[in-house]
Amino acid sequence: MIKGIIFDLDGVICFTDKFHYMAWKQMADNLGIYFDEEINKRLRGVSRMDSLEIILERADRTFSAEEKEALAAQKNETYRELLQQMSEADLSDEVRDTLQELRNRGYQLAIGSSSKNTRTILERIGLGDFFDAISDGTNITRSKPDPEVFLKAAEFIGLAPEDCLVVEDADAGIEAAAAGGFASAGLGDAAKNPKVTYPMEKFSDLLDIL
């Protein structure tokens, strides 16, 4: 019996992929490292430092831990500046209406995202105070496919994994849900993952699952 729903943020509630791509692209270009949208796909659902490691695979030199921290901070600063372009218009009517209906039905609703900018994004799209709990990059040490972010979210809303449904758009998220003992609903690429419990074509399909 599902009592709580844990949502990934980017690609599920809203879409900030373009801002991540622009920020990583700017950093890579400054370093003379080739980076395109195909490589960018590998970064979905992956932590900032792990994303940086993927980009640096094509570098012609090695970087120290201090240099990597500085590059990650530089990317995030660019990304945060780009996020200021977001507004409530970036939250679709379908997502807003579905979330409200799930709230009306009495489900506990949480966010489970590896992003450290989760609260900023939610504020920008008008959902700053909507969710019962937020588990994000500020309270975890391991990124997906490790289940930590979802396990923390479940803990924050006082539920066991088997009482929660994870909603994801990335393979790493579905793998994390499965590893943590959660049922999952998948959008996009995640809908094709063999470990997904409920493949979905659109966000509002949640209302038929639950």
Q: Which residues are catalytic?
A: 8, 10
Distance CA 183, CA 1 (A): 11
**What contacts 24+ positions apart, CB below 8 Å, involve 87-91?**
87/124, 87/125, 88/124, 88/125, 88/126, 90/14, 90/15, 90/124, 90/125, 91/13, 91/14, 91/125, 91/126, 91/127
| Positive/negative CA dihedral, 94, 95, 98, 104 | negative
The phi and psi torsions of 91 (rounded to 5 degrees) equal -105, 115
What 3-state class would DSSP assign to 82? helix
Distance CA 116, CA 80 (A): 10
- Answer yes or no: are the C-beta atoms of 177 and 147 closer than 8 Å: yes
**Among 45, 1, 15, 5, residue whose Cα is nearest residue 206:** 5
